[in-house]
Chain A
Amino acid sequence: MAYEAQYYPGATSVAENRRKHMSGDVEKLREVSDDDLTLVLGHRAPGSDYPSTHPPLAEMGEPECSIREIVEPTPGAKAGDRVRYVQFVDSMYNAPSTPYFRSYAAAINYRGVDPGTLSGRQVVEARERDMEEIAKFQLETEMTCPALASLRGATVHGHSLRLPEDGIMFDMLDRCRLENGVVIMHKDQVGRAIDKKVDFGKPMSEEEAAKRTTIYRVDNVAFRDDAEVIEWVHTVFEKRTAYGFKPE
């Protein structure tokens, strides 16, 4: 019997969205070109080669190792890319994703990545071209709303603040702005001005954000509305308590 991966319990829209994010089966909503992505990440000049920290693996003469034979290196590792990061911040006002679900998406669907979850932000470290693939995937799909989530390498402050009047998550470095109905980024993720404005498209309407969010909220879908989730959470807590952290 073919195994079908199960990601998250529950029958509500939030549970369904959580399953989508974890499985990587998300809808593509917008296009971000490679040059634009490179500009906002700010690690290298658009169009330039990937700087490397070691020669390509094929030229290095790797030692004999059965694991190396089994595991195909990622393109970035193969080419010897530097390790670089991308960091996302999500608003608590019905942002499509949350730090944990960004980490699940990266860890389950990509290899050679190091996702880190903090209270309001999520960082993925990986070889440069692998990291860019993940960043692009998250930016282009329904995992990101340009108004309620943004790329922030430094000063992540803003995710738990009220939204400003225009609905674009507060950013003290003012990287994102609403211009002519679309969200543009005119600085890179750490706040350095960039040569051109990068268009991330229209922000989601409040209704759409509420429909696509993975956040349980009492003013949208409450956590306690989902009986199956509650049951599983209780099961996990019960087992943890019964067996302790070190079952013997």
Chain B
Amino acid sequence: MVDSASNTENLIQIEIFPRRLLSPETAKELLVELSKIEGITRAFVQGPRLPVTVPYGPATGQIVNHKFSDTIRIGETDISLAVIVGRIRLEVLNSEIRDNIREVCERLLPMGLEFREGLFLPTRQTVSDYAKRGPGADPTVLGLTDPKGKVGNRICTLNPAE
């Protein structure tokens, strides 16, 4: 992993948007392949939330046990999916890595996908970020947290030794 957010000017951000919401198996396959590509600085997985308990209605509080709720293992890191994977946003070093990623996606996602380049992850601290994390916050985690979650949760570092 490369320290990114402090120097984001030359980095490329891409979004992988599959035509269908991914099952945990496909998501795992894709994320494992992506984790093997050198030069991805930050990644962000987004999708509809899978609640642990029924949030409202007559069944409030009952366990949901969703079929898409699973723990996937990437390298040495276990990630429990709190969402069904709908899109993946990445920050990469250069256009060659972007092309590699595109090739992996086209191979692993037979349902088709949209592959976009743009600005998807914040590169500077927003007011909410400042309110949540204060002035000395780590720039690499900007925009990577669950907006509804507690500060610091749901961020995984794949190779912490680096």
Contacts and interface: CB of A to CB of B under 8 A. Distances in A.
A242 B50 CA distance: 50
A: interface residue count bin: 20 to 34
A192 B59 contact: yes
A174 B64 CA distance: 7
Given A173-B64, A192-B62, A164 B20 contact: yes
Contacts of B66: 172-174
B48 A191 contact: no
Interface stretch (B8-16, B21-29, B142-150): B21-29
A216 interface: no
B86 interface: yes
Nearest to B27: A165
Contact of B21 (A153, A165, A187): A165
Interface string A176-200: 0100000000010011110000000
Given A170-B21, A172-B48, A164 B68 contact: yes
Chain B, interface SS category = loop
A191 B65 CA distance: 11
Interface residues of B, number: 26
Interface in A109-165: 153-155, 157-158, 161-165
B67 A154 contact: no
Interface of A: 42, 153-155, 157-158, 161-166, 170, 172-174, 177, 187, 190-193
Interface of B: 18-23, 26, 48-51, 54-59, 62, 64-68, 84, 86, 111
